[in-house]
Structure 1
Amino acid sequence: MTWTTPLFSPYHLAEIDLPNRIVMAPLTRARAGAGNVPTALAAEYYAQRASAGLIISEASQICPEGQGYDSTPGIHSPEQVAGWRRVTDAVHDAGGRIFIQLWHVGRISNVAFQPNGAPPVAPSAIKANAMTFVHGDFVPTSEPRALETDEIPGIVAAYAKAAGNAMAAGFDGVEIHAANGYLIDQFLRDSSNKRTDAYGGPIANRCRFLFEVVDAVTAAIGPERVGVRIAPVSPANDIADSDPTALFTQVVDGLDKRGIVYIHVIEGATQGPRETAQPFDFVALRGRFRGAYIANNGYDKALAEATLAADHADLIAFGRPFIPNPDLVERLRRDAPLTPFVREKLYGGGAEGYTDYPALAE
């Protein structure tokens, strides 16, 4: 059958053929098991949503210090790799494709998660006015310490090792999380990066950590398997920059030169309005990048179709609608009603509010 609308047309993402332009965005669900290992329930959850053109998994920490929330999965231990292999096998068996999002939260953490109760690390010792999820409750972040210059190569290497682990776990690729106020974003922004070494000050220096991570990851697994998520004007997790247009022009130009397969762009405030206090030209940003542009934030079917038809994006990411609608692709195709999610079941728990949302046929 041939679809006549852009959203349901196929797309060739480097070496991967996508059957439609619908991406399942990363969604933290806080349901990892002991040792932050993905469970059999996670395999069921992702397999239920395998009709998406591409799934991007929930954010997964690259090292123990990278954790900031309860029961979030990692991709740094053999047990975690084995747990993720069960997930990727289930998705592939269901006909899907899946990338993993690589995560280091930086200062958006609490001493409860840090080895030996140490402070979280950040570009600068500036506490975020933000919350983390600890033992079932949202609590303030802890005061971070500034990374020493000679510590940074070890974190870059952890990203590359995590990417290799992702390939061993059967993922089709990785997305480097450089958005929403986490570690890479903290290096990018002049509000959170007050360093005076090669990683601070001018925009080129603040981009250095991101580009070193991208270079290490692409060297490990190839640029055709690497995407990067950015959020130019989102204030998530107490992040801000005085000139996001200048900053993200350099970010995207540098990513374009590195030949990565996509950029995944949060247009506006994460889980908030598309228009923010800082105007931003996302169409111009898209024009600077030769790979795929994944548009994210507040998309419904009509806006998705219009955006694709105008060639302002190649793929459209849907986040929370995928939680209660495992068959979101089919519902959008049929213009069927969407089930609302149960907010109280977003984080933690078991199958309820996770794998028990019915598909249309049920």
Structure 2
Amino acid sequence: MTDDRPLVLSLPAPRTLELIFSPEALAKLHRRYEVHEAATLADVPDAALARARYLLGQPPVTEDALARMTALRCVFNVEGNLLDNMPYPRLFERGIHVVTTAQVFALPVAEIGLALALDLLREVTEADLAFREGREVWGLEGNRAARLLSGAEVGMIGYGELGRALHRLLQGFRPRLRVFDPWLPASVIAEAGAEPADLDTVLRQSDVVFVVAAVTSENQRFLGAPAFASMRPGAAFILLSRADVVDFDALIDAVAAGHLRAASDVFPEEPMPRDHRVRGLRGFLRSAHRAGALDLAFRRMGDMVLEDMELLDRGLPPQRCKRAERETVARMRSKPVSAN
């Protein structure tokens, strides 16, 4: 008997269907669609390639494989970052949507970013460690380097989904927020209640700098020693997006010299070598790429995918996932994650 359900090619590694769909949502996926799971597109028979309506995942796609996927309507990227591993111009020429579920991570990452900022400004972790080791300093003397986030001058580099989520959380602290994002017109930033600014102003005039910019072909390691030297002594630098936008050795040097305090959820190597100097560096808060990795966030991915598949089945464009832009998608240079 012929299965007339639309075919979904499932290659979401390192994600799994069980991770990104709740049991109820996964049952719905299998009721509505025939799902063909594979490790690579090379493992998929030609007949399945030809019938596939949707590609769930972000595997490398060759021109040849794409040419055989004659029924394809949408690629659902569930890694979060668009990867430079598909012939995007050909996808767009054929009217195939490319969408990402990255926005599910915006709020969880923004929350941990706020936590890291408060920790650095009030030295929460450092004070706890000192207490455990019997070298605590009480009262006013223990706050000589402390600062308030309330009313602080805050800089943000990048203003996508994550930047906007972080801005909403910061509003209760009434900061003066300056934003640098060369991919946005100044009016978009101003209408959101922040001040558009150039990179130099953001770095020089901020007590706290949040880096939430995606890594692209244009900004790899663009924050280096000169950028860190231009920042206020004692300022907090918080890296939440991707490590490749930063010269990590230069950042470590700035912290080791006592010029900056820093925190990062992302690193040049993951995991970092056991003997790497960042592991024992005072004034540097370390989070093992866990800011967005919540069950709730992963399950939201599946709900968004199902909603957009239903729209596409009806001949409508996707609305829940974020669509890739033809002008920028090929500039993305994120490395794929290896762990959820």
Give the number of the structure whose alpha-carbon radius of gyration is greater.
Answer: 2
TM over 0.5: no
TM-score w.r.t. structure 2 length? 0.30
TM-score of the two chains, using structure 1 as the length reference: 0.28
